[in-house]
Amino acid sequence: MTERVRGGSMREVARIAGVSVSTVANVLSRPAIVAADTRRRVELAIDAVGYVPNGPARQLRGLPSLLVGSVTLDLANPFYAEVNRGIEDGLAPAGCLLLAGSTDLRPDKEEQLLHLLEQQGVRGIVIAPAGTDASPLLRLNARGIPVVLLDHPRERLDLCAVAVDDALGGRLAAEHLIGLGHRRIAFLGGAVDPAPVLRRREGVRAALAAAGLELLDIRVRIHPPSLLDAAAAAVDRILAASPRPTAVVCLNDTAALGLLDGLQAAGVRVPADISVIGYDDLPIARRLAPPLTTVSQPNYELGQVAAELLLDEGRPGHTHREIRFAPNLVVRASTGPPAHIDELR
């Protein structure tokens, strides 16, 4: 049993068509320049051997790669999954493929991933950085591999970036609650948070400070077993806090869902006793009981725009730039005035 590995090469096509490899190459890349008759013979031969162009060989010759890397926290996370889908679709017009990897927020995994992507000769990399040190990214960029920052502010870096104003998102949530009359507000976060969550927390803190209030900072260990359960288990600490908060801003919708569930189990009414705000506006948010007030951001578009920026890096007059999206407060039924608003007046 002869295992014909891969489709035939250009040489085989040339042999069958009775022409040289360069003529086959011409048929493929500038058909107009080849005599109609020859072209026909070559096309027949291409079908006959089931010719498939060899990407690596093309790349070795210096043609642009069709591979684009995506480096995120976790491609199973619904947020990054949507972002990746956005990247995939943004890449499609250029015929590029998505090489996706997860860092689990570990700088060592990130570094290794970047290394592998560089070896593959990717056309560029979209990354939601796990580490705080941007120098590996600048190094990649200096070596000619375009890097686009995702869900991350550009600051003074000489790179393209797609960012959401996370601090504003936090501020919107806090101001909504302050406007409702809340004075004791908690932020439910993880023991170790990715940068966007840190910025949300600081946004909340800043808004509270501007109103002369202090943030109650509650941290849960996320990993074992799950954010959902960790958030539900945080209820005790929230209720025990003194002064007890009348509102909780959660790091994301998943945490909010867990918290909602834990509060319900504890017999605490939402929003009558405690208001809850999520972040992300996952599809389920509006179907929860009560429908969740949350801050939305354009997940899919984030990825799509990142892909477009990346593809643009190859074009002549490209200059690095940052595209900034604004988060959006979506008020539903999980927030309301605090119970004893009168006595706060």
Interface residues toward a second copy, by CB under 8 A? 3-7, 50, 52-57, 59-60, 65-67, 74-78, 81-82, 84-85, 88, 95, 97-102, 115-121, 142-145, 226, 228, 232, 254, 257-258, 260-261, 264, 283-284, 287, 289, 300
Q: Which does 85 bind (CB under 5 to 8 A by kind): a second copy, DNA, none?
A: a second copy
Among 44, 48, 54, 265, binds DNA (CB under 7 A): 54
Among 2, 62, 135, 343, binds DNA (CB under 7 A): 62
Nearest to 88 by CA among 69, 65, 109: 69
Q: In 61-106, where does DSSP find H-type helix?
A: 78-91
Least Å distance, CB 6 to DNA, is 7
Q: Which amino acid is at 4?
A: R
The span of 25-33, 176-184, 299-307, 330-338 binding DNA (CB under 7 A) equals: 25-33
Exposure of 173 in the CB half-sphere (CA atoms within 13 A): 39
Q: Which amino acid is at 136?
A: P
Task: Considering the complex, state which of residue 207 and residue 305 has its C-beta at the smaller distance from a second copy.
Answer: 305
d(CA 291, CA 256): 11
Task: Considering the complex, state which of residue 186 and residue 259 has its C-beta at the smaller distance from a second copy.
Answer: 259
Task: Count CB-CB contacts under 10 A for residue 62.
Answer: 6
How many residues sit in the footprint of DNA (CB under 7 A)? 29
Among 1, 3, 4, 29, binds DNA (CB under 7 A): 29
The span of 29-37, 289-297, 309-317, 318-326 binding DNA (CB under 7 A) equals: 29-37
Binding site for DNA (CB under 7 A): 6, 9-11, 18-23, 25-26, 28-29, 33-35, 37-39, 51, 53-54, 57-58, 60-63
